[in-house]
Structure 1
């Protein structure tokens, strides 16, 4: 994992329609106007393709576990429901993008993204922005943004194939093949991969009546992209991506051997861009579409006669126009850039879940339009300033968000100081506005958006030592935010209202050591205090302490060892399921115990094109429960090979 700084509001807000090219030492989230990392007043983590492979990160949930400031809570193994709490914010406060296109499912009742389904075979890098980003991306970005950037074609290779094949314990099989290339004015990507595993029992061993029934996964995905550059400074490309997962599910405190779920997504986009005025102005237009289909089926079994089928369908169409303009310098100002654009979307949700008389249903749709603009300049070649704003109009409400930032470069002592502040908002979901449960509950069309106001202060110091200029890097960031108008049930539990408030503060501490060219280590410690601002009680699933230790060692040329140690402290739970001696379940507010998980991946580069690898997971056999009643998968080993020509 590589902690870096995110492109400023001026860069990120301006061009979600632009194509993306991975450029060293920059972040290019949703724009072709890359910004040097040291100029950016925000926290980001970039996980590169090399790290994805060296650490054996097959799924998005695995990858995000090593991100500072982020707590991932998954109810079991791959394919199971996984939520993210970014800097103490709610699980619905993180926006997920694929090449700049929003992936959050409109039919999800709370508007939260399920991080348990995405695989990474076609992903070149993951960029995680921490902190309010609504001035960049609008709704659902109070906590931050996760952007998946797909693989890109090399400009000098007509055919560049890649692939992998691996198998291991729990009857796990992982396979994939793909290729990129550039032929004349055309470039392309095609990719297909699959993952199947018998898995582990997701319910905790402490449940005495467990059947030890395993919850497996069968998943597949495919991506195709074709790009065309008809003239110099102009490009058009289209992308189609499909992903489908089928997994076994459980309901604590009992196993549920006949409970399964299927999650399918289609996504497509067509985008074009042109460079004008000798390269000073880049303009881009994109049309994108996502379609999510989910169903969950529960059949009678020896533990329960209950049966039912739940179905969800969400669709979103997005039209973006984005621009980036290079500004002239004058006086003490240099390296200026302005960005601006307009976004329009239409989303629909249809769902039918549960059984009468408590059947949940939604059939609703809404439109939204937003305009955004930002500017940045460098002052006296050492102070970077940025400012950006956005106005969203969604359904019956409007919201305006902003962000200001500054980075002070202090080269005399190898230090960078940064400060940023901004606002954010979460739009009410379609279920929250228009959903119904039988005749006892109706959504509230008049809900206001949840709103936040926060800031962060950070510093990063490079320390030379032992003959190395980059021997150590120390980092510290303090963040604080306040969220108002949170959506919750009213006193009669028959509708939803804006009633709650949250107060969040914390710190992200980081240390990277590079004692030798063949060895590097990183430590990240996140401290979070997230509370209900009315009662003062800690918010569920926000542990006070999360520590991640990672290392990369190459003791022999071509041999890479990548261990990861994850520690998660105690975290409160709203309901804690357990069994008493009589075998009946009970629920009461308690806290999940702390847990430690150790992973290790070893890879050996046999030839410049072929690498063998072994991935060991949960080597200590931890039975930690990241979500109450659901424990982490047990020990596993996967052995395989990958190639890239």
Structure 2
């Protein structure tokens, strides 16, 4: 922690020196976030670290999948186990991959059929997506189970107002026989609004098995994916709105046997989700209440037939679904004398049912599960601004999952504004939990049996940080520096028992680290950002470093606009070493050691050829780095796409 605090004080001290001179009032950040508080809140009033990726970011940086868009988010480590579409785990601030809650417009997307109840970041395409909000740190007091490490909320695109029809799309092609196209139409006609969008992507891909393995045969793992989104809304009156959203996606991609190429091993991943939501304002807008009903369905199948390389046969089928109902409310609170104002209380209840019908693996070790579980929750959160300087927020929630009773969680946060120093200080403390997955409770695989008496995994986390705006050369925010220190304690983590016949709550973990960022607005045409994440994640029982959590990650990005119609967006990600089990070149048994890190460089160039038409170039992994994010799988190689984008 001394190392973290020293780095943080040095960074903020340097910012203060640079900012010496006449003090300027702090400029409010223009962003608002919903995920951090469940209500639209100015980013400067949120006590926890957040990142928002806008549609402009998605287009200017050429992001085509969720994993690409999140790759440089501070504190988030994505670990793919193969090419596009294959399992990609997300580790938030060193927490486990199942400790991330992923939402689509507020509806949970985590896969009920996944053995750990986690989300696969590798296959989600970005057609019709408006922005992605990322909340780091525990959020179970707002979103319940799994939201221990953080939350990713994917927000779909809205129809434009005052326009009956807007047509948009893009088409691109390039190396590895890659072809990508997307398009849609949206508009508002009277009280109705609509949006339809679709995307398709196909590529030969790369050989993801490291060439150092004797079993590597150079076989490429291709990918074909299609996604479609529909959103319909009706404004009943100025205070009441009804809307529905449905999204469908299918991906087909190549797989490999572990540590070996396998040409006829393939998978298909289908997901559809939908929701209907109604919201109305009462009492002259003082009270807003809404009801949401959502449903998700996941179907994943992997098939491998015997061939000249292997006599093994695989036919895995994962089926999971979730029904979700949420009643949410926001009530504006009166000012308290001349001391506190901008008060707001949000509260609600929700219910969900998860189901898994799954069979995977080979006889006699085939895993089977056919179960469901219900859960219900109630939550409340309050926020106020005191003395025009101090934002205070507090929230609590109680979840009841069938089989193990009630689990309470909480979060407290403060933000103190120092406009004289262009600075805000923030701190938060909270708890989180993750309910055992259906497989962990009821799964059967050979002699291995799930444990229905498992307790939830629990955590207590706290963080503090500061953000400083440094004025200079007439710009009140010439440089913005940010620092966050975080510390988490996990208990009752689920692991196999000593005889490897079932699960038990035995593991503990301690994680601490820091996130640093500096954004420089050097000129109207040049903006650069440097982010650094330091993570120290250890098993409390063995005092060994947790696997696949690099200690150091550096992300650099820039937006360069040398002329009005040209935008150049480079991106560089430097990932440090991480503990892992490393396999020898012959694929022999592994040994625990530190795997080397790697560097990935991306570049996107966009030229606005006409007011409604642009041309772009997207280059990925320019240095053709083939390092292994996890032992046995290399990073996809260099690729280049050329394309055009239009909006009519």
Aligned match of 2:7: none
Aligned match of 2:340: 333
Residue of structure 2 aligned with 1:175, choices 168, 172, 181: 181
Residue of structure 1 aligned with 2:200, choices 194, 202, 210: 194
Aligned match of 2:516: 509
Residue 593 (1) aligns with residue 601 (2): no
Distance 2:39 2:118 in 1: 29
Where does 1:533-548 land on structure 2 (aligned, <5 Å)? 533-548=540-555
Residue 413 (1) aligns with residue 421 (2): yes
Aligned match of 1:361: 368
Residue 115 (1) aligns with residue 115 (2): no
The change in CA–CA distance for 1:608 and 1:29 in structure 2 (over 3 A counts) is farther
Deviation at 1:24? 5.0
Distance 1:206 1:490 in 2: 35
Where does 1:83-482 land on structure 2 (aligned, <5 Å)? 83-331=89-337, 332-397=339-404, 398-438=406-446, 440-482=447-489
The change in CA–CA distance for 1:90 and 1:230 in structure 2 (over 3 A counts) is same
CA contact (8 A) 2:37 2:142 kept: no
Deviation at 1:230? 1.4
The TM-score with structure 1 as length reference comes to 0.95
Question: What is the count of residue pairs matched by the alignment?
Answer: 618
CA contact (8 A) 1:30 1:100 kept: no
Deviation at 1:213? 0.2
Deviation at 1:301? 2.2
The change in CA–CA distance for 1:456 and 1:31 in structure 2 (over 3 A counts) is closer
CA contact (8 A) 1:578 1:629 kept: no
Aligned match of 2:579: 572
Distance 1:75 1:490 in 2: 26
Aligned match of 1:4: none
CA contact (8 A) 2:213 2:587 kept: no
CA contact (8 A) 1:59 1:78 kept: no
Distance 1:189 1:556 in 2: 33
Residue of structure 2 aligned with 1:634, choices 621, 634, 637: 637
CA contact (8 A) 1:30 1:99 kept: no
Deviation at 1:155? 1.4
CA contact (8 A) 1:74 1:80 kept: yes
CA contact (8 A) 1:408 1:417 kept: yes
Task: Give secondary structure in 2 for the equivalent of 1:578.
Answer: coil
Aligned match of 1:530: 537
Distance 2:37 2:475 in 1: 35
Deviation at 1:217? 0.3
Aligned match of 1:9: none
Larger mean CA deviation between 95-104 and 294-303 belongs to: 294-303
Give a deviation string over 1:348-389, Cα, whole Å, max 9, x none: 001111121111101110000000001111000010001000
Deviation at 1:468? 2.0
The TM-score with structure 2 as length reference comes to 0.94
Distance 2:205 2:362 in 1: 30
Aligned match of 2:41: 35
Deviation at 1:31? 8.3
Residue of structure 1 aligned with 2:496, choices 480, 489, 500: 489
Task: Give secondary structure in 1 for the equivalent of 2:312.
Answer: coil
CA contact (8 A) 1:69 1:526 kept: yes
The change in CA–CA distance for 1:155 and 1:33 in structure 2 (over 3 A counts) is farther
Give a deviation string over 1:245-278, Cα, whole Å, max 9, x none: 0000113321111111111011111110100000
CA contact (8 A) 1:252 1:577 kept: no
Deviation at 1:27? 1.0
Distance 1:211 1:33 in 2: 52
Task: Give secondary structure in 2 for the equivalent of 1:385.
Answer: strand
Give a deviation string over 1:50-83, Cα, whole Å, max 9, x none: 0101000000000111100111111233212111
Aligned match of 1:20: none
Residue of structure 2 aligned with 1:72, choices 70, 75, 78: 78
Aligned-CA RMSD value? 1.2
Distance 2:162 2:575 in 1: 45
Task: Give secondary structure in 2 for the equivalent of 1:586.
Answer: coil
Task: Give secondary structure in 2 for the equivalent of 1:242.
Answer: strand
CA contact (8 A) 1:185 1:228 kept: yes
Deviation at 1:590? 2.1
Distance 1:525 1:535 in 2: 28
Which segments of structure 1 move beyond 6 Å, counting only runs of 4 or more? none
Task: List alignment gaps of at least 5 residues for structure 1.
Answer: 1-22
Larger mean CA deviation between 329-338 and 298-307 belongs to: 298-307
Distance 1:180 1:349 in 2: 36
Deviation at 1:455? 0.3
CA contact (8 A) 1:253 1:585 kept: no
Residue 610 (1) aligns with residue 618 (2): no
Task: Give secondary structure in 1 for the equivalent of 2:593.
Answer: strand
Task: List alignment gaps of at least 5 residues for structure 2.
Answer: 1-28
Task: Give secondary structure in 2 for the equivalent of 1:556.
Answer: coil
Deviation at 1:584? 5.5
Task: Give secondary structure in 1 for the equivalent of 2:288.
Answer: strand
